[in-house]
Amino acid sequence: MTDKNQEDSGIEEGTGLATKTRPATKKPSLYRVLLLNDDYTPMEFVVEILVRIFRKTPEDAARIMLHVHQNGVGMCGVYTYEVAETKVAQVMDAARRAQHPLQCTMEKE
Ligand code: TYC
């Protein structure tokens, strides 16, 4: 096989032997980033977080914030481990600086 990212036919060129191999690439695990409701963080702060850190439109951000407000928890997005970890840290840091009790966590999809 010439391209390691390509599925091979299972027939090795030249030898005629059946040598079907697994693809060389693996899909990374994905993680949901969740926002948790609390009684004190201002709605506007949560919307700003969703726009700035999760790149939501103001409309989507308001919808997600209200979902969390009404249901206790809601999803901000699905990311690879390192991206999810970074976004959780950015939210927790922004909340700490602003002295809001906002909590953000991640879970394997
Ligand atoms: N419940 C908060 C309020 O009434 C708003 C809020 C929404 C807080 C979402 C956190 O993740 C959250 N001010």
Residue 8 has pLDDT above 80, yes or no: no
Q: Is the pLDDT of residue 6 over 60?
A: no
Please tell me the residue having the least CA distance from ligand 1 atom 2: 39
Q: What is the pLDDT of residue 23?
A: 76
When pLDDT is cut at 50, 70 and 90, the band that residue 24 belongs to is confident
**Alpha helices for 1-80 (secondary structure H):** 43-52, 58-71
Residue-wise pLDDT tens digits, 39-95: 999 999 999 999 999 999 999 999 999 999 999 999 999 999 999 999 999 999 999
Indicate whether residue 49 lines ligand 1 (CB < 6 A): no
Q: Which residue has the higher pLDDT, 5 or 68?
A: 68
Per-residue DSSP letter, 18: B
1 or 54, which is more confident: 54
CA 40 to ligand 1 centroid distance, Å: 7
Say if ligand 1 is within 6 A of residue 43 CB.
Answer: yes
pLDDT at 13: 47
Which protein residue has the closest C-alpha to ligand 1 atom 10?
37
Closest CA to 34 of 105, 93, 86, 109: 105
Q: Is the CB of 104 under 6 A from ligand 1?
A: no
**Separation CA 72–CA 31 (nearest Å):** 19
Q: Is the pLDDT of residue 14 over 80?
A: no
For the whole model, what pTM was predicted?
Answer: 0.80
The C-alpha R_g of the chain, in whole angstroms, comes to 21
